[in-house]
Structure 1
Amino acid sequence: MQTMKALFFLFSISFCLLNTSVYLCAQNKVVKKELSTTADTLWNQLDKAGNKQGNWFLKTNAERGEENTTSYGFYNHGMKEGLWYVLDEMNELLRIENYKNNLLDGENKFYERGYLICIGHYRSVSSKYKYDTIKVEDPVSGKFKQVVVPAEKGTTKHGTWEFFDAPSGELLKIEEWQVDERIFIKSYDKNKEDTAFINARTRSLPHVKNNYFKPPPNKRFLLLN
Structure 2
Amino acid sequence: MSLSEAYSQSKWKSYIISPKGDTLNCVDQQGKKQGPWVNHFDEVRGEPGYEEEGIYKDDRKEGTWRLYTLMGDLSGVEYYKWGLKDGVCQYFGMNGSLQREESWRALNPDKLYDTITVEDVEHLDHYKTVIIKNEGAAIKDGVWKFYDPMTGTISRQETYTLGKLEKPSGQQTAASTAPKTVAKPKEVLDFEKKIGKKKVKVQDGSVY
Distance 1:84 1:185, change over 3 A: same
1:199-210 aligned at under 5 Å gives the runs: none
Show the counterpart of 2:108: 126
The corresponding residue for 2:131 is 148
State the match for 2:24 in structure 1: 43
Letter in 1 for 2:122: V
Match of 2:156 among 170, 173, 181: 173
Structure 1 equivalent of residue 165 of structure 2: 182
List gaps (5 residues or longer) in structure 1: 1-19, 22-34, 192-225
Query: Could you list the runs of 5+ residues in structure 2 that have no partner in the other structure?
Result: 1-14, 179-208
CA distance in structure 2 between the partners assigned to 1:94 and 1:180 by the alignment: 25
Task: Say which one has the larger Rg.
Answer: 2
TM-score, structure 1 as length reference = 0.61
Q: Residues 68-217 of structure 1 correspond to what in structure 2 (within 5 A)?
A: 68-113=49-94, 114-142=96-124, 143-186=126-169, 187-188=171-172, 189=176
Q: Do 2:118 and 2:129's aligned partners in 1 also have CA atoms closer than 8 Å?
A: yes
Letter in 1 for 2:154: L
Describe the superposition over 1:64-103 as per-residue Cα deviations: whole angstroms up to 9, x where unpaired: 5422111111112322111111122222222111011111
| Structure with greater contact order relative to length (CA < 8 Å, sep ≥ 6) | 2
Q: TM-score, normalised by structure 2?
A: 0.65
Q: Is the 8 A contact 1:126 1:154 kept in 2?
A: no
Q: What is the CA-CA distance between 1:167 and the residue it aligns to?
A: 4.3
Aligned residues: 159
Cα shift at 1:154: 1.9
Deviations 1:14-42 (A, max 9, x none): xxxxxx88xxxxxxxxxxxxx587x4342
Contact 1:110 1:119 survives alignment (8 Å): yes
Distance of 1:41 and 1:111 partners within structure 2: 28
Structure 1 runs of 4+ off > 6 angstroms? Answer: none
Q: Which amino acid aligns with 1:93?
A: L
Note the aligned Cα RMSD (angstroms): 2.7
Deviations 1:163-197 (A, max 9, x none): 21224321222321111111013342269xxxxxx
Deviation at 1:148, TM superposition (A): 2.7
Does the CA-based 8 Å contact 1:45-1:56 persist in structure 2?
yes
Distance (Å, rounded) in 1 between the aligned partners of 2:157 and 2:114 = 27
In 2, the alpha carbon distance for the partners of 1:116 and 1:151 equals 31
The structure carrying a bigger helix percent of its residues is: 1
Q: Which deviates further from its counterpart, 131-140 or 49-58?
A: 131-140
Query: Percent of counterpart pairs with the same letter?
Result: 28
Whole-angstrom distance in 1 between the partners of 2:18 and 2:130: 52
Cα distance in 2 for residues equivalent to 1:156 and 1:104: 8
Aligned counterparts of 1:85 and 1:158: Cα–Cα separation in 2: 21
